[in-house]
Amino acid sequence: MKINKYVDISTLDREAKRDYIDRHSAFVHCADVATKGKKFKVKVQVGDEYLHPDDFDHYIAWLQLWNGEKMLAQANFSAGAFGNEPAHTEVDFYVVPTRKMKLTAMAFCTKHGLWQSDEVIVNV
């Protein structure tokens, strides 16, 4: 399966491409330092500026949080979970770190496939 990644949208000429890439890209939002053994919040969100559709045949089916090659968590969604209105699909995951983390997120769009975030380093 092809994995799509975010492209620096400032380098793209057409707004349609910017819209398409942004609305499908996964983003990891969290602090860059965590305390060993204490619960740590990580927000995974699809889209930064643009909302993703929530139609019966075009929606975000799941979001995953990874630390390197280990999947930490997954949230699943059904069509219509956001009232059939475009939205930023997002989940707050809580993990308990024991050492430095290299976090990435994966999002699966039922129409446009798998999208991977940039890596976020969290020092513990």
Kindly tell me if the per-residue pLDDT of 73 is higher than 80.
Answer: yes
Query: pTM (2 decimals)?
Result: 0.85
Cβ 6 vs Cβ 87: under 8 Å: no
The CATH number covering residue 101 comes to 2.60.40.730
Of the ranges 17-26, 80-89, 103-112, which one carries the lowest mean pLDDT score?
A: 17-26
Q: Which tokens go with 103? A: 């976090």
Give mean pLDDT, residues 74-80: 96
Domain count, the chain: 1
Measured CA angle at 64 (ends 73, 98), to 5 deg: 45
Give the domain range for residue 81: 3-122
Assign 2 a pLDDT band (cuts: 50, 70, 90).
confident
Strands in 40-46's sheet, in edge-to-edge order, are: 26-29, 40-46, 90-95
pLDDT at residue 22, as a whole number: 85
Question: What is the C-alpha to C-alpha distance for residues 101 and 85, in angstroms, rounded to an integer?
Answer: 34
Residue that the structure tokens 């969604």 belong to: 77
Give mean pLDDT, residues 41-60: 94
Assign 109 a pLDDT band (cuts: 50, 70, 90).
very high
